[in-house]
Chain A
């Protein structure tokens, strides 16, 4: 069957629309990249869209990478991401394993207790008081432990565990394997795509988180990267950037520094992301099919 003329018209229009959309989506990111590589003075003089860097200078990157706040924030964030994801993965597997087991009397009750928290929370002040009373405040633990399990991710993993062939569990139980062995030696290796999704979701979550840090972290040395970014980008406090330098000379660079900071802070995600894309699509599908 030959496509009709209107069909052809639609296909062309569709490609155009989607191309335009991709361009609109990607442009802000490109703009930031170009701006960060620009020569500050040329950039300031430039009006309108950037199609390539205005002039060229790596001065902004040099300053960013020399800055103690940013490198310190980077280090803190890496610590948080690595230890946080480890704990997330451990806790989420435990919960998902339990919730995927059949013939357990209290399973549904516990499931309800957990799901309820997705829709009902105690509020900001009680939450703060709880974390504070555990003396987690002003430590990196405050950014790791209170977010140890994400209910949405827990349900996702549970769905994947429920699809495990039952025979595997039965035969290993007969071999005398304990639940922990089954979970870590059989279930997890068999559900690598979901594990990858978990690592990605939790990892990105930790990488991008700032609110808990704003609540609980007092010491600037413990600031994660996003909180440093907030000072620089949102509160427009480039002071954090210019400590100890002749601020007037560097004032101009402050304009492009902002963009360099964004690139430096986002690059790990943007470079890893295309490789991980197929995993999270798969992960979302598991969630969607569960319905």
Chain B
């Protein structure tokens, strides 16, 4: 029996190869790319369980088991960076996730094609501006001599360099995020709205539903699956706050509210010789993210029958 199965499997493989080998040759460079630039680093992540000594190489360095994980969990900073990561990504989620949906709904109500195009063109634009420029602007605008302070100056209040105060970091981070991504995020919802069958609206109108009712009963259900899929993806990334932006924005005076897992990994691994330690923290982060993603997907399959795969 098992021999038979193996036999058919092998003949299947051979037949497939004979028929498709040119296709496999085509995908080979792509596969190699993924192996070299994604899977080799994943293999390299085993230094999280070792004391990596460069001259001994990844494999030759001594195993230390979970020492680095232990050290991380015991560290004074563990709770702080976990808290910051969660605070930043939950605040982004709560304010940043609905924003493009609302924008899309508002744009969808605009009758004038020209005005709709105009609003879209303007709001998509910041997405294309580089992070370096955006962060440079934020730093410049929130400086004590910057424009934000000179606007609120006349209404009283001390002129302060806002990025020196830990309390301001999260609001600055989240609002600039919304500024940059609200328009871009709305595209996908507008696309989903565009694909709703117009007859549904006609039917609703006949039933006497006003625009507001139509929005509630036709538009929102029509984009619900899109919303859920994007929400799953967001939840899967809840522990991966983008470090590029924070690295560009933060300074030691506000580590207290701005230091997150990925920036900690960055500092440890790139500046403080903690290669193995940094890999352990990064691996911890990856595993949690992956678990969250799978979990959220499973949940949504249960409740709503929409899922990523």
Contacts and interface: CB of A to CB of B under 8 A. Distances in A.
Given A17-B106, A119-B236, A123-B265, A26 B286 contact: no
B42 A121 contact: yes
B115 A15 contact: yes
Contact count band on B: 35 or more
Contact of B132 (A97, A128, A233): A233
26 contacts: A7-B210, A11-B111, A14-B110, A22-B118, A26-B122, A49-B147, A94-B30, A101-B20, A103-B20, A124-B269, A125-B44, A125-B278, A126-B42, A126-B47, A129-B41, A129-B44, A148-B37, A154-B30, A207-B130, A208-B131, A230-B136, A233-B139, A233-B140, A273-B128, A281-B120, A289-B191
Q: Which of A103, A269, A281 has the most CB of B within 10 A?
A: A281
B191 A274 contact: no
B106 A14 contact: yes
A81 interface: no
Interface of B: 12-13, 16, 19-20, 22-24, 26-27, 29-31, 33-34, 36-45, 47-48, 52, 58, 103, 106-107, 109-111, 115, 118-126, 128-133, 135-137, 139-141, 147, 150-151, 153-154, 179, 182-183, 187-188, 191-192, 194-195, 205, 210-211, 225-226, 229, 236, 244, 248, 265-266, 269-270, 275, 278-279, 282-283, 286, 289-290, 293, 309
A131 B26 CA distance: 24
Q: Which of A117, A234, A284 has the most CB of B within 10 A?
A: A234
A24 B40 contact: no
A5 interface: no
A80 B49 CA distance: 37
A204 B128 CA distance: 7
Contacts of A113: 31, 34
**Lowest 3 A-B CB distances belong to which pairs?**
A233-B136, A126-B44, A122-B41
A178 B132 contact: no
A270 B279 CA distance: 39
A10 B109 contact: yes
Interface string A172-203: 00000011100100000000000000000000
Contacts of B141: 28
A149 interface: yes
Contacts, number: 258
Contact of B191 (A179, A183, A284): A284
A48 B151 contact: yes
B23 A18 contact: no
Interface stretch (A58-66, A246-254, A258-266): A258-266
B133 A229 contact: yes
B127 to A, nearest CB: 9
Interface string A118-146: 01111111111111001000000000011
A277 interface: yes
B129 A121 contact: no
